[in-house]
Amino acid sequence: MTDRRFFVILFVAVGLLSLLPLGLGVYHLHVMIVSLFYVMMASSWNLLAGYTGQVSFAHAAFAGIGAYTSGILAAKFGLNPWIGVFIGTILAALIGLGMGILCLRMGGIYLSLTTLGFSEILRIVITNEYEITRGTMGLQVPGLVADYSKPAYFYIMLGGAMLTLIVLYKLIYSDIGLNFRAVQNDERAAASLGVDVVRMRVLAFTVSSALAGMAGGLYGHYLLLITPEIPSLDQQFLVLSMTVIGGMGSFLGPIIGAISLEIFSEYIRAYGEYHVLVFGLVALVVARFAPNGLMGLAEHRLRGRRKASRTVSAAAG
Amino acid sequence: MFALAGMNGLVIGAIYALAALGVSLVVGIMNVINFAHGELYILAGYFSYLFANAFGMNFALAMTLAVALVFLFGLLIEYTLIRPTYGNDMYSLILTFILSIVLQNAYLLIFGPYPNKPPNWVGGSTLILGSFYYGNQRLAALIAGSAVITLVFLVIKKTWFGRIIRATSQDREMAELNGVNTKRLNMLSFGLGCALAAAAGVILAPIFPVTPTAGVPVALTAFVVVVLGGMGSLWGCVIGGLIIGLVENFGAAYISTAYKQVFSFIILILVLLSRPSGLFGRREA
pLDDT tens column, A170-219: 888 877 777 777 777 777 777 777 777 778 888 888 999 999 999 999 99
Q: Which fold has domain A3-231?
A: ABC transporter involved in vitamin B12 uptake, BtuC (1.10.3470)
Mutation target among B90, B244, B275, B284 for the A interface, most CBs of A within 10 A: B90
Chain A residues within 8 A (CB-CB) of chain B?
Answer: 49, 53, 55, 57, 102-103, 105-110, 112-114, 116-118, 120-121, 124-125, 128, 233-234, 237, 240-241, 244, 273-274, 276-277, 280-281, 283-284, 287-288, 291
Q: Would you list the domain boundaries of chain A?
A: 3-231
Task: Give me the pLDDT at residue A316, please.
Answer: 47
pLDDT at A315 over 80: no
Q: Residue A265: what residue type?
A: S
The distance of B145 to chain A (nearest Cα, Å) reads 25
Q: Which amino acid is at B133?
A: Y
Tell me the HSE value of B237 on the side-chain side, using a 13 A CA sphere. 27
Of B35, B109, B272, the CB nearest to A273: B109
Q: How far apart are CA B6 and CA B253, in angstroms?
A: 10
| Predicted pLDDT of residue B285 | 32
CA-wise closest residue to B203 among B138, B256, B249: B138
CB contact under 8 A, B102 and A241: no
* Segment B110-130, tens digit of pLDDT: 888 888 877 777 777 777 776
pLDDT of amino acid A306: 64
Q: How confident is the model at residue A307 (pLDDT cuts 50, 70, 90)?
A: low
Name, in order, each residue with C-beta under 8 angstroms of A81's C-beta and a sequence gap of 6 or more: A70, A74, A141, A142, A143, A144, A221
Specify whether the CB–CB gap between B66 and B48 falls below 8 A: yes
Contact B220, B37 (CB under 8 A): no
Contacts of A276 in chain B (CB under 8 A): 101, 105
Q: In this model, does residue A312 exceed pLDDT 70? A: no
Mean pLDDT in consecutive groups of 10 residues from the start of chain B, 285 residues: 81 88 85 87 89 81 88 90 77 87 88 81 73 78 87 87 82 80 84 90 86 85 85 84 87 78 80 75 51
Chain A CB within 8 Å of residue B106 CB: yes
User: Do residues B198 and B46 make contact, with C-beta atoms less than 8 angstroms apart?
Assistant: no
Maximum CA extent, chain B: 58
Q: Which residue has the higher pLDDT, A131 or A220?
A: A220
- Examine the pLDDT at A8 and tell me if it is beyond 80: yes
| The predicted structure's pLDDT at residue A1 | 59
Please state, in angstroms and rounded to a whole number, the distance separating the CA atoms of residues B109 and B103: 10
| pLDDT confidence band for A43 (50 / 70 / 90) | very high
Contact indicator for B265, A124 with CB cutoff of 8 Å: no
